[in-house]
């Protein structure tokens, strides 16, 4: 797997209408009616456009909002943020750092013991790679997140 996580015309051409609307037009999918809000399998979430690793299930939690929520990105440089003034009050938009895909927003109301942030993401911006498939799909470097020792610390 390449670590070149740029947006390409080929990658954009493979997106569904919903994936394109969310990642390229800064859309939002409906709460509780999206693919990953209730996914509890171990694995990582990657940018649907570029394949860039973004979040780990070890940092996912049920925020009650109906969207997949994480306490932090898989690596500090995996995402970038910027102010979003589309609503009355400013929000902090989250984008993938490689392909600049719109992912969702980050809010300061996450679990305090895990840093206090809630990365509220759109499932349509993500592709889930199960822990059992990490090596096969070129993400073996993240296998260590799902060892027995790390799972015990995450509990």
Phi, psi (degrees; rounded to nearest 5) at 59: -110, 10
Q: If phi over 0 gives left and psi between -120 and 50 gives alpha, with beta otherwise, what is residue 51? A: left
Is 28 in a helix, a strand, or coil? coil
Catalytic residue among 46, 103, 120, 124: 120
Q: Determine whether 91 is exposed, middle or buried from the number of CB atoms within 10 Å of its CB (0-12, 13-18, 19+).
A: middle
State the alpha helices, DSSP H only, in the chain.
9-13, 17-25, 148-154
Active site residue 120: yes
Contact present, 130 and 41 (Cβ < 8 Å)? yes
> What are residue 18's phi and psi, to 5 degrees?
-65, -45
Question: Would you name the residues annotated as active-site residues?
Answer: 120
């Amino acid at each position: 797997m390449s670590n070149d996580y740029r947006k390409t015309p080929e990658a954009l051409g493979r997106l569904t209408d919903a994936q394109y609307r969310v990642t390229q037009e800064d859309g939002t999918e409906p709460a509780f009616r999206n693919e990953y809000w209730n996914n509890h399998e171990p694995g990582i979430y990657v940018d649907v456009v570029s394949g860039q690793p973004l979040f780990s299930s070890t940092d996912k939690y049920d925020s009650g909002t109906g969207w997949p929520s994480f306490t932090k990105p898989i690596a500090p440089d995996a995402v970038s943020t910027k102010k979003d003034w589309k609503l009355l009050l400013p929000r902090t938009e989250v984008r993938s750092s490689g392909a600049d895909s719109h992912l969702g927003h980050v809010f300061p109301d996450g679990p305090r013991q895990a840093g206090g942030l809630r990365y509220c993401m759109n499932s349509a911006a993500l592709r889930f790679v199960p822990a059992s498939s990490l090596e096969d799909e070129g993400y073996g470097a993240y296998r260590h997140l799902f060892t027995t020792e790390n799972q015990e610390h995450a509990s």
